[in-house]
C-alpha cells in the first residue's frame, strides 16, 4: 500500500466519521404501544371516540422492517418531520412488535400512515406516497386555509 493510498483511505474514513457524528438525530420517534397510549392517545376503541393526549397533531407510520415501501417512506417522513418540527409530532410503530395497535386501527396493508388531528377522528392512508402529496394531506388535515 502506498502512502498516498493510505492517506486517502484515512481521509475518507475521517470524513465518514465526521458526517455520521454531525448527522441530525431522527425526527420520527420509534415508539411502542405503551408509548403510543402515553404520547398520542388511548387506542382501545380504535378510531371511534379517539381523544388526543398530545398538544400537537400527530402522524404515526405503521411499518415493518421487512417492508420495502416502508423503508422508502421512512426518509420522506424524516424530511417532513424536520419541516413540521414544533407543529406536528411524528412517530412510527413496528407492526410486528405491536400487533394489537395494528388490529385496533384495522391495519391490513403497510405502510399505513395515520393522521391524528387535535379534534376529530384519525384518518389513514395506505401505501407509499410522494412527499408533496403527504404535505398536501398534512396541510389539509392539520392546517386548513380559512
Spatial strand order in the sheet of 29-30: 29-30, 89-94, 58-63, 112-116, 123-126
Active-site annotation holder among 28, 52, 58, 70: 70
Active-site annotation holder among 67, 104, 110, 134: 67
Phi, psi at 31, each rounded to 5° = -125, 165
Dist CA 124 CA 103 (whole Å): 14
Supply the DSSP symbol for 127: S
Which residues are CB-contacts of 88 (< 8 A; sequence separation ≥ 6)? 56, 57, 58, 59, 81, 138, 142
Angle at 43 between CA 84 and CA 83, to 5 degrees: 5
Is residue 18 part of the annotated active site? The answer reads: no
Dist CA 117 CA 22 (whole Å): 33
Is residue 67 part of the annotated active site? The answer reads: yes
Residues with active-site annotation: 67, 70
Amino acid at each position: 500500500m502506498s502512502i498516498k493510498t493510505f492517506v486517502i483511505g484515512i481521509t475518507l474514513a475521517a470524513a465518514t466519521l465526521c458526517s455520521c457524528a454531525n448527522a441530525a438525530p431522527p425526527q420520527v420517534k420509534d415508539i411502542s404501544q405503551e408509548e403510543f397510549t402515553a404520547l398520542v392517545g388511548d387506542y382501545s376503541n380504535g378510531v371511534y371516540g379517539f381523544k388526543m393526549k398530545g398538544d400537537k397533531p400527530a402522524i404515526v407510520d405503521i411499518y415493518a422492517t421487512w417492508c420495502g415501501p416502508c423503508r422508502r417512506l421512512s426518509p420522506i417522513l424524516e424530511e417532513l418531520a424536520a419541516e413540521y418540527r414544533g407543529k406536528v409530532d411524528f412517530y412510527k410503530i413496528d407492526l410486528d412488535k405491536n400487533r394489537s395497535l395494528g388490529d385496533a386501527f384495522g391495519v391490513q396493508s403497510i405502510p399505513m400512515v395515520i393522521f391524528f388531528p387535535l379534534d376529530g377522528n384519525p384518518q389513514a392512508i395506505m401505501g407509499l406516497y410522494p412527499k408533496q402529496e403527504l404535505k398536501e394531506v398534512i396541510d389539509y388535515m392539520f392546517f386548513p386555509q380559512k
